[in-house]
């Protein structure tokens, strides 16, 4: 049965952590939105699935956002209580470290479970769903931005396309007209016009390009500034609709299930598994570290401890990232060094908490001793 004091601590901590997570999510959303827009401009996926991909990326980003939100939120909530002398009044009333640890650990257990669910299951599921959504969109002419009865610009200055009709699923086209500008082998600008009585869309097996298979039409190659143009009649002509640009920073292991990572012997898979497992451990360690870091005097600068907390998180996160890189390169063959770092920071938090609540010896007694 929770006491009134426990419920008060839980309410204050939960509200502050939730507000902090919302603010951090908005900040991360702005950065993610700019990256998604860049990928749309590069032709990585159509604009019609932009917001779905953005939402799925935000879910995947919760793996790193939740520990930071819990850390800053706990320090902000407990720091406010110290500045307003609530903690000093409670301490003078007999509340020891257990009275503070109990509600923090209760809320921490919930946050650790939530962080584990996101990092081990929900985050990779969001990555796989995003990849499937983009692949399905790239196979659809409608999702590629085409619409019957109007001229449409192809991505990456690929030209202009016009179709008079489309099937409901966007895979079959009616009469089609494509105009593109290319350079021939001599470097001269050349206008290429293609017409077709019908067509269909297909994608390469590796997913790197979308093509139109046009049937029963004409192709014209007209050099700009020249007279040696060519005309050709064809029964079938495969024409590139747009190239799907791959992401240079794409990591295939991010979309793998946790069970598949456990079965894999690849160092990159072990690195990804270590990072996923580190997320709930990081949440627990940071909440424990937030208790001693949040203690401050009423006249102490309001954001002094918060700045110290951000620097501490950055160093902790940087060391974990360096350890993950070492595992991915094959220099470390287990996750033990990362867990050793978690344990070291946890022991540091326990030592700081013990120092704050340890009984103080008077100066006179210390002098006689």
pLDDT at 139: 60
pLDDT at 1: 67
**Length in residues, the chain:** 369
Domain ranges of the chain: 4-137+264-368, 151-243
Rounded to 5 degrees, φ, ψ at 86 are -65, -40
Question: Which residue spans within 184-290 are E strands per DSSP?
Answer: 189-203, 209-223, 230-243
What is the per-residue pLDDT for 67? 92
pLDDT along the chain (369 residues), means of 10: 80 91 89 81 69 87 90 89 79 70 87 93 90 71 64 69 81 86 77 88 65 87 80 85 52 83 88 92 92 80 80 92 90 89 92 76 51
pLDDT at 205: 62
Closest Cα partner for 78 from 99, 53, 49? 99
Would you state the pLDDT for residue 245? 46
pLDDT of residue 143: 46
Beta bridge partners of 209: 243
* pLDDT at residue 362 in the model: 53
Q: What is the pLDDT of residue 338?
A: 92
CA distance 80 to 66: 21
């Amino acid at each position: 049965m929770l006491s009134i004091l426990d419920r008060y601590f839980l309410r204050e901590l939960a509200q502050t952590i939730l507000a902090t997570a919302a603010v951090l999510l908005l900040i991360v959303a702005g950065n993610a939105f700019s990256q998604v827009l860049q990928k749309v401009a590069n032709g990585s996926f159509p604009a019609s699935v932009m917001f779905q991909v953005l939402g799925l990326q935000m879910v995947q980003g919760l793996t790193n956002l939740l520990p930071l939100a819990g850390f800053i939120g706990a320090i902000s909530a407990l720091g406010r209580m110290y500045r307003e002398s609530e903690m000093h009044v409670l301490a003078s009333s007999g509340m020891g470290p257990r009275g503070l640890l109990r509600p923090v650990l209760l809320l921490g257990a919930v946050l650790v479970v939530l962080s584990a669910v996101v990092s081990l299951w929900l985050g990779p599921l969001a990555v796989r769903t995003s990849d499937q959504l983009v692949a399905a969109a790239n196979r659809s002419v409608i999702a590629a931005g085409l619409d019957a009865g109007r001229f449409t610009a192809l991505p990456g200055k690929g030209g202009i396309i016009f179709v008079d009709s489309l099937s409901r699923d966007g895979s079959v086209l009616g009469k089609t007209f494509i105009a593109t500008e290319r350079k021939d082998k001599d470097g001269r600008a050349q206008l290429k016009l293609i017409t077709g009585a019908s067509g269909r869309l297909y994608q390469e097996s590796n997913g790197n390009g979308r093509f139109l298979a046009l049937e029963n039409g004409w192709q014209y190659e007209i050099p700009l500034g020249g007279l040696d143009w060519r005309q050709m009649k064809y029964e079938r002509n495969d024409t590139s609709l747009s190239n799907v640009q791959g992401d240079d920073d794409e990591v295939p292991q991010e979309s793998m299930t946790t069970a598949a990572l456990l079965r894999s012997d690849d160092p990159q898979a072990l690195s990804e598994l270590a990072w996923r497992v580190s997320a709930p451990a990081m949440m627990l360690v940071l909440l424990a570290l937030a208790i001693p870091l949040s203690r401050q005097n009423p006249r102490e600068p309001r954001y002094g401890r918060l700045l110290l907390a951000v620097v501490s998180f950055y160093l902790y996160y940087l060391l974990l990232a360096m350890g993950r890189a070492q595992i991915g390169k094959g220099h470390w063959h287990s996750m033990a060094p990362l867990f050793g770092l978690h344990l070291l920071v946890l022991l540091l938090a326990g030592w700081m908490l013990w120092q704050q609540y340890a009984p103080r010896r008077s100066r006179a007694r210390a002098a006689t001793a």
